[in-house]
Copies of this chain bind each other. A is one copy, B any other.
Amino acid sequence: MSDLLAHKPISASVGDYLKAIWNVAGSGSASTNELSEHLSVAPGSVTRMLGRLREMGLADYEPYHGASLTERGRREALRLVRRHRLIETFLLEHLGYPLTDLHEEAERLEHAVSDGFTERLADFLGHPGRDPHGDPIPAADGTLTPEDSLPLSEAEAGRRVRVSRVSHEEPATLAYLAENGLIPGRLLKVEEVRALDGVVTVEDEYGTCHTLGGALARSILVRNL
């Protein structure tokens, strides 16, 4: 009778795995290898953990056929994502953190703060809808506004677009994009989307042209104007 309700708080590691499945799998399922790479952890460690997540009722997992989140697992993942994005917003707006350092600090803090802290912080920040990278912040009830943007890699040549999100974590990449002004809010004109290798060329508000590799173009989301 006790263990039906007594859902003790999950560990930092478990939380990281849930977020990784959420990131990698979306609504589908994530393979051991994908998770292993995403988390920089040996494949064997992932297998062990997926078994535990299944036992805890946080993930559906069939050996050799990948894992996906249960409803409870998704809730926990979104709770962490909410914390992470609110914390990043605070770090940038009030502590003056550089854009490149937000992720690492938030990654540790998200596992240490309570729900009470999170909601007080949301109040303090004025309940922002998006974080500094343009990523939507899940609501306290687990609701997440559906994505209304498309990757720059799928934009049409000739269109004018506005950058809405930059879904990247690596400091070096963020620094490069920030230096070139490829940040949320910026207006761009799509010059070319080369089918061959996915390289995208855009012109910004000041007439400067930027050429972006396929991977980079896929992680920059834009809205058509």
Tell me whether B124 and A105 are in contact (CB under 8 A): no
A: residues with CB less than 8 A from B are 91, 94-97, 101, 105, 108-109, 111-114, 116-117, 120-121, 123-124
Stoichiometry, as copies per complex, reads 2
Quick check: B114 and A112 within 8 Å, CB to CB? no
Residue among A96, A117, A124 with the highest chain B CB neighbour number at 10 A: A117
By the criterion CB–CB under 8 Å, are B113 and A109 in contact? yes
| A-B residue pairs in contact (CB < 8 Å), sample of 23 | A91-B117, A94-B124, A95-B117, A95-B120, A95-B121, A95-B123, A95-B124, A96-B120, A96-B123, A97-B120, A101-B116, A105-B113, A105-B116, A105-B117, A108-B112, A108-B113, A108-B114, A109-B109, A109-B112, A109-B113, A109-B117, A111-B112, A112-B112
> Which residues does chain B contribute within 8 Å of A91, judged by CB atoms?
117
Q: Bound state CA distance, A114 and B120, in angstroms?
A: 21
The smallest beta-carbon distance between A149 and chain B, in angstroms, is: 31
CB proximity of A208 to chain B, nearest CB, Å: 32
Question: In the complex, what residue of chain B is closest to A107 when comparing beta carbons?
Answer: B112
By beta carbon, the residue of chain B nearest A101 is B116
